[in-house]
Amino acid sequence: MTLALKQAEAAAQAGEVPVGAVLVAKGAVLAEAHNQPISARDPTAHAEILVLRAAAQSRKNYRLPGTTLYVTIEPCPMCVGALIHARVEQLVFGAREPRSGAVVSHQNLLDSLNLNHKVHYQEGILAKECGAIIQAFFRTKR
């Protein structure tokens, strides 16, 4: 999660919403990224999506079994869907996202019994630090 926080800091420095993500397999980092929808002019350029894209290119496979995604903020519905399709094994996130979080805050998408793949999840890892960086970012915007 420390690496994901560094990515979130890079996002903040770039004027992006400070969300960072890191994908790991067997203790090795496969990819790191931060939010880039503004600079990339791409509404899908969330940290989670960028990490999945990079890892899929590296592995030459759109499926990413046996991986764990660390992300600073609870993923949105788009990102949760991508985790399912990529067959990510585990999601670990820091702070909840009270407006659009789709894991525990609102839709609880990963708990749906209709899914063909189960992504296990854990929340609250470095939650204070993850929440603080995003709160500080929006405080300066207001």
Buried b (16+ CB within 10 A) or exposed e, 38-56: eeeeeeebbbbbbbbbebb
Verify whether residue 89 is a known catalytic residue: no
Q: List, as one string, the DSSP characters of 20-39.
A: EEEEEETTEEEEEEE--HHH
Which entry of 16, 32, 48, 97 is annotated as an active-site residue? 48
- The closest of 64, 70, 30, 18 to 48, measured between CA atoms, is 70
Active site residues: 48
